């Protein structure tokens, strides 16, 4: 919630909250087609119904087994690319990781 990702939807004007802009400013859609607005967990880590328990998320092995996807530059570049009207090349993965993602708790090994 401390990153800009949590406010990605309200960064769009109401008239921009349509298909061509919405794509990278949302996480996805629910089964019943309502929008999951902003860039949330599942935008980066993949579908979370299996890994969402805190016990699993705090344990790297359990989390991975439950489908929490590892992050690579490709995770970000899906949205951080020249199709974004605001994009300034190049995308610096290391720097963006410091600014753009949540704090991490200590992982169980
Ligand atoms: C913008 C992309 C992004 C979003 C959104 C995001 N994460 Fe992460 N997450 C990361 C990155 C990057 C790491 C660190 C991966 C690494 O260092 O290997 C990470 C690591 C983790 C880990 C592993 C534990 C740790 O301490 O490294 C868990 C669990 C996790 N995230 C859960 C969440 C949850 C829950 C949410 C939503 C509240 C979320 N993430 C949203 C990018 C994201
Ligand atoms: C390919 C993904 C993508 C598309 C499509 C996209 N955006 Fe974005 N948008 C981003 C990303 C990523 C950022 C963060 C800046 C960057 O790295 O480009 C961003 C940033 C923004 C910001 C700045 C928000 C702030 O807090 O400063 C605005 C405003 C914005 N976009 C509006 C739009 C509008 C309007 C459209 C449609 C015409 C659009 N975006 C389409 C990915 C996208
Ligand atoms: C689903 C699309 C999406 C994904 C995936 C994504 N981002 Fe973003 N990111 C955005 C959008 C949209 C914004 C603009 C939000 C705003 O300013 O309101 C943004 C903003 C940011 C910003 C703030 C930029 C600024 O100008 O202050 C950083 C840093 C960032 N993202 C890093 C990352 C990193 C690192 C990853 C991968 C681990 C990642 N993002 C994955 C869509 C995405």
Q: What is the mean pLDDT of the chain?
A: 92
pLDDT at 56: 96
For the Cβ of 100 lying below 6 angstroms from any atom of ligand 1, the answer is yes
Asked if residue 68 has pLDDT above 80, the reply is yes
Residue 60 neighbours by CB under 8 Å, 6+ apart:
107, 108, 109
For the Cβ of 76 lying below 6 angstroms from any atom of ligand 3, the answer is yes
What value does the mean pLDDT take over residues 22-36? 94
CA angle 38–4–89, rounded 5-degree value: 105
Residues of 8-43 as b/e, b for ≥16 C-beta within 10 angstroms? bbeeeeeeeeeeebbeebbbeeeeeeeeebbbbbbb
Asked if residue 79 has pLDDT above 70, the reply is yes
pLDDT at 100: 84
For the Cβ of 102 lying below 6 angstroms from any atom of ligand 3, the answer is no
Asked if residue 95 has pLDDT above 80, the reply is yes
**pLDDT band (50, 70, 90) for residue 36:** very high
Ligand nearest to the CA of 40: 1
pTM, rounded to two decimals? 0.95
Instruction: Delimit the domains of the chain by residue range.
Output: 1-39, 42-94
pLDDT at 107: 53
pLDDT at 2: 86
Separation CA 12–CA 37 (nearest Å): 11
pLDDT at 66: 98
């Amino acid at each position: 919630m401390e990153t800009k990702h949590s406010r990605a939807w309200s960064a769009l004007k109401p008239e921009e909250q349509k298909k061509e802009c919405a794509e990278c400013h949302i996480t996805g859609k629910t089964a019943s087609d309502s929008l999951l607005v902003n860039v949330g967990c599942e935008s980066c880590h993949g579908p979370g119904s299996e890994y969402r328990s805190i016990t699993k998320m705090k344990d790297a092995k359990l989390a991975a087994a439950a489908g929490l996807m590892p992050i690579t530059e490709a995770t970000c570049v899906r949205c951080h690319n020249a199709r974004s009207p605001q994009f300034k090349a190049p995308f610096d993965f290391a720097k963006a990781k410091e600014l753009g993602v949540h704090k991490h708790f200590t992982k169980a090994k």
